[in-house]
Structure 1
Amino acid sequence: MKHNASHPFGQGGRRLSRQQAKAVARLIASATYDRDASGKLVRVADQRATGLLERAFAQLILRGGKPFAMQISASEAAAFPSHDPVEGGSYAIAVGFDVETRATFSTAGAAAVRGDQPIEAAEVARHVAMMGLTHGLQSAGIPARGQA
């Protein structure tokens, strides 16, 4: 959910190179925390999750810190301690920097049906992940489980 990191865009607001962004993202991902099913704060340790966080945080840095969401696989979503399985669902992760420039993320899963017609579950998952990220971006520190 959060990581304490210095401003990732270099001094004077200069953008980092792709290689530098990847190196910073690797450091951030290696010290990122999430809440497990019991609500306990734990470090994200699964290599699938940290690899995904590295890629997402590098893109975040290269995009100038603008929050974004992207679709992820069910196995990538399952690698996070806070994973909540959605049968037949699509999953997404959203990343951004909070008010103190700490990296934060939100994952979400969705299986979407309107009446008897399926709708784009991947888009719903991205939207829900961005909604979860919004709270993290507006607060300092790690939000308590269940806060939105």
Structure 2
Amino acid sequence: MELVEAREACGVFGAASPGSPVFELLYHGLLALQHRGQESAGMATIDQDGRLRVRKSMGLVCDIFNPEESYGLKGSIGIGHVRYSTVGTSSLEDAQPFHFNGIALCHNGNLVNYAELRRNLQQRGVRLRSTCDAEILVH
């Protein structure tokens, strides 16, 4: 019997706190999930005026974000992601959350028909910026 090494694949965290910013909740939630992905981290929040704000970068949560500074992520609803790549490259373009037309998305898993879906979107003129399967979900 062959032993297969246990692997984690990304971490996704969401928070809603009507009337209060969720940045600190997202920060601590992603820190708790850091073991699930160390390649990149990102957050997205929606302000009271409906404006989506996103920050993401390569590296660990504690190297990208500082709990004392909100980076403009002052919304009361938000999502966050730590990445362990299974599809696509380990690059800033593949870091999540992905966003398009006011929608932000974090994803954990693999889309089994990714190549077909990507080809279909490109044939319709959609410009994809990453090699990550999750990006197609916001289109």
TM class, shorter-length = 0.3 to 0.5
Q: Relative contact order, CA 8 A, sep 6+: which one is greater?
A: 2
Compute the TM-score of the two structures, normalised by the length of structure 2.
0.33
Greater share of helix: 1
